[in-house]
Structure 1
Amino acid sequence: MLRLGFPVLGVTDIERAAAFWSVALHLTVSGEWASDGWRTLTGPDGERVLGLMVSASPPEPRPRVHVDLLVDTTDEQDTEVRRLVDLGATRLEWAYPAEPDFVVLADPDGNVFCVVDLSRAPSSG
């Protein structure tokens, strides 16, 4: 049976990426499948959460697929964005809507991701 796995980010420096994402998301760098070109990051329960793979291709400046990191409040969003920037992320200039619920960042390898404030997400009602 086919099932959805986990996101994989292409990176140029596997050790730097593993250090950034493990601290950013409070994950553990697993020994599973570890090689010079691969790291698996797992959650507290050992579940695979994120894969990191060495890639020679550059990151897309406006990727169609990206990772969203979720928070529950605007204060938490501000705190997490500052923390991620302190870890090595870069805040990107973006064509934001009038009242965005997200902040666009790039990891140290240039992979674009968002920090989304769920308290400001559009209503589905």
Structure 2
Amino acid sequence: VEMGYELRCHRPVAYDLTLCTVLGMGVKKLFDQGLKGCIVSTTRTAEIVPIFLKDIEDKDGIIPPRLVNIESEFSQLVLSDMHVLTHLDYKKAKKWLTIPETYDFYRILDWEYTNALLRLDPVKEKG
């Protein structure tokens, strides 16, 4: 499971550019093959593979969300290195955003802020 920049609420990195390029090329490839009713996916080796909606939707035609174990080691590594908008940034963010709270990753997920998540030094916070 990869965590794209939308989920990270972060500026895209080189990986995201490569992934978007491969997926874009995949759309053309699957279109040229005449495939319909599918979404483009890719393997770790950048092989383009179609995922047919009929194979992943339930009896009502609804595609269940793909859940990510946020307690896994990989997820924790990604989350521990995220730099996202928090309540500490609202004042500065108002220069660009009318309502910065709507972009607050932890608020969106209803997560609690901690000094570690906010990268606050507990010693400096006391002083």
Higher share in strand = 1
Higher share in helix = 2
Q: Determine if the TM-score, normalized by the shorter chain, exceeds 0.5.
A: no
TM-score normalised according to structure 1 size: 0.33
